[in-house]
Amino acid sequence: MLLSSVSKRKRAAGDLFSHSCDLSPDEYICKVRRLTKPLGNYLFWGINSANEELTISIPPKYRNTFYFVPGHYVVVKSLEGSKVKGEITTLLLEKQITQMCSDGTW
């Protein structure tokens, strides 16, 4: 059964805006940073909690469906690569950020 574009978008939205704020050991929080030089179609600079600039990518199911703006906080799963250090798994909403700050997991 083939999914229509609307079904794919709904499924991707459910994954991207997940309501659980639990981080696994190989995940960390990054802030999407403004692009200063071209990195590729689906690559961004991200700043982690140690103020290191990392190259993060968008997985194929989110491409051409959602747009990430500089200043968004995202959960990134670390990858073993020489250039790309992580892949976006979740976009954090404001209420998730405040909940994580109150829980002490931020």
Q: Which of 74, 15, 9, 21 has the alpha carbon at shortest distance from 57?
A: 74
Q: What are phi and psi of 70, to 5 degrees?
A: -55, 135
Task: Read off the pTM.
Answer: 0.76
Q: Is residue 6 part of a domain?
A: no
pLDDT, residue 92, reads: 85
Domain count, the chain: 1
Q: Is residue 8 part of a domain?
A: no
Q: Is the dihedral of CA 30, 35, 61, 79 positive or negative?
A: negative
Q: Is residue 64 part of a domain?
A: yes
CA atoms of 37 and 39, how far apart (whole Å):
6
Q: Which residue segment(s) compose the domain that 64 sits in?
A: 13-103
**Residue-wise pLDDT tens for the chain (106 aa)?**
456 677 777 766 666 666 666 787 888 888 888 666 667 778 888 888 888 888 888 888 878 777 777 888 888 888 888 888 888 888 888 888 888 888 877 7
Stated as kind and residue range, the H or E segment containing 103 is: helix 94-103
